[in-house]
Structure 1
Amino acid sequence: MSGRNGDERTKDRASAPPLRDRLANAAFLAVIRLARMLPYHRRLPAAGWFFARILAPLAGWRRRIRENLALTRPDLDRTEIERLVRAVPDNIGRSMIETYSGAEFVRHTQETARMEGPGLAALEAAFAEKRPVVLACAHIGNYDAMRAAMVGRGWPFGGLYRPMNNPLFNAHYTEAITSISEPLFPRGRRGLAAMLRHLRAGGWLAIAIDQASRDGEMLTFFGQPARTALTAADLALRHDALLLQAAAIRQPDGLRFRILIDDPIAPGEPAAMMQELNDRLEALVRRHMDQWLWVHRRWK
């Protein structure tokens, strides 16, 4: 039996993930597996501690948090800044292990989360009328808790997500988020087609609005220029969908959530609609500074 030729072996090496990606993926999985050995109520603070004390300084998150706060909240004193430098990665760690806790996380969330807000009645009416909904979401609290809570009510929740750059990480990450709810639509041509079919059938779609978009409109967020995709407003207008902001805010015990549903956004010019969402998100972040992803490169 003949072996593969040199060209095939060279091609395999070229297509294999680089060593850095393999090591990062192995280290991440080791942390997740260790954390999952703990009872649920203990694994969340343990993951939060690891992300805040070990990962954040190694990944450069502390520096980026300080830079973003200096740009947007120069009024904060040093004590509050240092509190956020620790609290933001803690929330990231808790959110990550929740996502990787699958059915246990879903069950806990559906049993304990409270859903409230001025837009809740509008969501219930949209479900009864089989009207499509576009949920403008953000990296605050834990987005997956909102997914779990809404799916628990039988609502047709779908989400748009960006595949991770590290293919090894992306494989188990996709499996983890899919275990919470489906359908999920990856960014790209195939995901876009499935997403549009979902909306046309009266489905609901969650889109993150708090990431910098290369082709987005230059709007403002925390008083600073921030490129913002108009996708959420465009889809809502095109499909006569309800557009509103929703978020899952972590409660003081670090384990439970309040699902906050804001008033629907009135139809209008897409950039104006997205600016209104930016303004509402800013107000929410100001109330929960430790729960937004300040490690994002939101202002470029």
Structure 2
Amino acid sequence: MVSGFVTSVWHRVQYIPLWSALSATRLRGLDHRARIFGDMVGCAMRWFPPARRRFDREVLRIFPDMPRARRAALRREMGRNMGRTLFEILNSAEFQARQERFHVSGPGLAALQAARAAGTGAIVVSGHFGQWDAVRAVLKARGMETGAVSRPQRNRFYQRGFLAGVEAGGRPVISTGRAGTMELVRHLRRGGFMAILLDEKYAEGVALPFLGQPALTSTSAATLALKYDLPLVPAYGTRRADGAEFDVAFEAPIPHTDALTMTTAINDSLSARVRAHPGQWYWLLRRWMGT
């Protein structure tokens, strides 16, 4: 009982900075609030030594010759982008309301529309890149509500707000784990759409190249697409220079071959996006083997 009380108090203390930042910007417009929140996170990335060291280690793994000044600028850019993305997810209903900010392209959207018309499910794959929930916002506005797979947060106060935001983007929101996998399968077999972020290290996964380095990667999305004959569509919401608009690209569905080949293609797709816009990927994921 004492341990539970201490944990609850500690979770409240951890949540105070986020709550304070959200409260301080409450009376302003969404874009202005998101920019302020992003600047706060960018500042933290600049001055918080553990985050700075971890970021530099991961970036130098991929870009060993990147100068220190460029790394510092990239670190602040990543912090600002991730801060804005978090804020927009926490305010998902407001974020989705302005569809004119989403500039949609790519053949994958037609493939998803065909799947919906046929009453079959579909899997959309992406990563912690840009504003990944812009993809679901576009699909929901077009009558293709898309659920998400989400890892529960340890802090219950943060989890409450984050889960509400993710659910506003599309249901169901399914937790990782065996029970979640069963629920995911049922949803897909009923003709549902699901979005999966595949750039987190998966201990039981297969070592496949990501940005040129071996990374333990789950092959579950490809396996499900093959088993239930579903389109597997990579999609990305790249934040434009103004920070408030997005290029939402639906790439062509990954051809059905085998799970390893398909998952490698997904990693290659995301790698190309990260190389083109390195400040829009979350470099603190401990993505690679040995980290």
Does the alignment reach a TM-score above 0.5? yes
Could you tell me whether the CA contact under 8 Å between 2:62 and 2:212 is conserved in 1?
A: yes
Could you tell me whether the CA contact under 8 Å between 2:222 and 2:262 is conserved in 1?
A: yes
Secondary structure of 2:91's partner? coil
Could you tell me whether the CA contact under 8 Å between 2:210 and 2:271 is conserved in 1?
A: yes
AA partner of residue 25 (structure 1) = Y
Give the drift of 1:59. 7.0
The yes-or-no answer on 1:77 pairing with 2:67 is: yes
Number of the residue aligned with 2:258: 269
Structure 2 residue corresponding to 1:37, chosen from 11, 24, 27:
27
Determine the C-alpha separation between the residues in 2 that align with 1:184 and 1:149. Answer: 17
The yes-or-no answer on 1:252 pairing with 2:204 is: no
TM-score scaled by length of structure 2: 0.93
Number of the residue aligned with 1:234: 223
Give the drift of 1:62. 1.9
Give the drift of 1:122. 1.7
Give the drift of 1:82. 1.7
Gaps of 5+ in 2: none
Number of the residue aligned with 2:18: 28
Give the drift of 1:24. 0.9
Number of the residue aligned with 1:169: 158
Cα distance, 1:261–1:235 mapped onto 2, change above 3 Å: same
The yes-or-no answer on 1:86 pairing with 2:80 is: no
- Out of 20-29 and 237-246, give the one that drifted further: 20-29
Structure 1 residue corresponding to 2:43, chosen from 49, 53, 64:
53
1:115-264 to 2 correspondences below 5 Å: 115-264=104-253
Cα distance, 1:158–1:59 mapped onto 2, change above 3 Å: farther
AA partner of residue 35 (structure 1) = T
- Out of 92-101 and 69-78, give the one that drifted further: 69-78
Give the drift of 1:73. 1.1
The share of aligned pairs that are identical, in percent, is 32
Number of the residue aligned with 1:288: 277
Determine the C-alpha separation between the residues in 1 that align with 2:49 and 2:234. Answer: 30
User: How many residues are paired up?
Assistant: 288
Q: Deviations over 1:76-97 (max 9, x none)?
A: 2333222101100000111111
Secondary structure of 1:131's partner? coil
Gaps of 5+ in 1: 1-10
